[in-house]
Amino acid sequence: MRALVKTSAGPGLELIDVPEPVPGPDEVKIRVLRAGLCGTDLHIQSWDDWAAEMLRPPLIVGHEFYGEIVEIGDAVPTDDRYGLRVGQRVSVEGHVVCGTCRNCRAGRRHMCVGTSNLGVNRDGAFADYVVVPHTNVWVQPDLIDPDLGAIFDPLGNAVHTALSFPLAGEDVLITGAGPIGIMATAIARHVGPRHVVVTDVSDARLALAQECGADRVVNVTRERIAAAQSELGMVEGFDVALEMSGSPSAVAELIENCNHGAKVALLGLPSDPFEIDGAKVITHMLTLKGIYGREMYDTWYKMTFMLQTSEVLRDRIRSVITDRFPAERWEDAFAAARSGEGGKVIMDWS
C-alpha cells in the first residue's frame, strides 16, 4: 500500500510502498478516505527539535482522518447497539491511552500520562490503510461527509477549548485565526455570545473567521484589540478568551483586555517559555486553564450532536477547508499548509 513515511532521522518525507497492516484482536483496520494536515505533521517533515525528540523512524505519519472499516479483530465488540461493523464510516481519536494510570482509571483519559500518539509514536493515517484500537474509533452519522469527518480531531480541539467556559451572552476574544481558531469562532457563535472578536496577522484567515461568525476581526500588525473593544461598546473587557496562537505577545494583550473575573482557555503551544503578568492575573481574579486535545469522549459527543442539529454550523466548519489535494501531491499539500494563509488542508487517499 501507499504510505507517507518518515524513513530516517532528518528533514523530509517519502511516499513509498509498505506492507498493509494487520489488526490485532482488539483493533480495526480502516481504509483511509481523507486525511487532514496538522502543524504536528509540518514539525515532523522539517525535523525540528520536538520531532527529533518524539519520533523513532521509520514511521508512517498523519493522525487526522476519516475512513471505512474493512477488517475487525476477533475481540472487538460487534453487538447491535455499540459494536463496530465492516463498512462503517468513522473518524478516530488519535490519542491512544494506557488505560491503567490514575487518570485513565478515574475516567480522565484525555489526561493519560502514558498516551501514545497516532502518527507520532505509532504508525499513522497518511496511508491507504491504518490499524487502530477499537476504543479509538468514532462511528460517524451519514450527514458527516468525508472532508468534514477528516477534521474531527482539530474540531475537537476547538470544541474542547470553546466549551471550557460558558459563552452564552458573553463577550469572547479569540487570539489566533488558524484553522482551529476559526473553527472555535464558529462554535462560539453557535453557542450564542454577545460579541466575538478574533485576532491574527493574516487578513485571509481573518476573512475566514468573519465568515464563521466573528463580529469584529483585528489584524494585530495594524491595530490593537482595545480599538475593537471600544468600537463594540465594551467598557469592561472580555469575559472569556480563547488563546489559539501560542504567541507571547498575544497572551499579554489578551490579559490586558480581559474583564475582572474573566476566564481564559489556553490551547496555542508556545515554542519557548514566556512571562505572564502575574499581578494582573491575581488582582483581576483571572482563571487560566490549559487545554490539550479532546475530552475522551465527551467532546466527541458534543461536536457530533452540534453538527447534527445545525446545517449552518456544518457549512461553517466545512468552510475552514480551503485546500484539497490527491495523496500523490502531498508536497503541494504541505506547502499550502506551511504558507499560513489558508485554512485546513485535506489529502484525498480514496
Q: How confident is the model over 59-98, as pLDDT tens digits?
A: 999 999 999 999 999 999 988 788 899 999 999 999 999 9
> pLDDT value at position 151?
97
Residue among 7, 40, 135, 260 flagged as catalytic: 40
Q: Whose CA is closest to 241, among 165, 317, 158?
A: 165
Task: Specify the fold of 159-290.
Answer: Rossmann fold (3.40.50)
Instruction: Please say if 43 is a catalytic residue.
Output: yes
Q: How confident is the model over 252-276, as pLDDT tens digits?
A: 999 999 999 999 999 999 988 889 9
Grid cell for residue 152: 474531527
> What is residue 288's three-state secondary structure?
strand
Task: Specify the fold of 2-151+320-348.
Answer: Quinone Oxidoreductase; Chain A, domain 1 (3.90.180)
Q: At how many degrees (to 10) do helices 179-191 and 203-211 cross?
A: 30
Q: What one-character-per-residue DSSP string does 188-249 give?
A: HHHH--SEEEEEES-HHHHHHHHHTT-SEEEETTT--HHHHHHHTT-SS-EEEEEE-S--HH
Interatomic CA distance for residues 120 and 7, integer angstroms: 13
Residue among 7, 43, 110, 195 flagged as catalytic: 43
Give the predicted TM-score (pTM) of the model: 0.95
User: Distance between the two ends of the chain, CA-based, in angstroms?
Assistant: 12
Q: Residues in the chain with pLDDT < 50?
A: none
Residues of the chain with CATH 3.90.180.10: 2-151+320-348
> pLDDT value at position 82?
82
As a dihedral over the C-alpha atoms of residue 49, residue 52, residue 53, residue 58, rounded to 10 degrees, the angle is 160
Instruction: Please say if 195 is a catalytic residue.
Output: no
Residues of the chain with CATH 3.40.50.720: 159-290
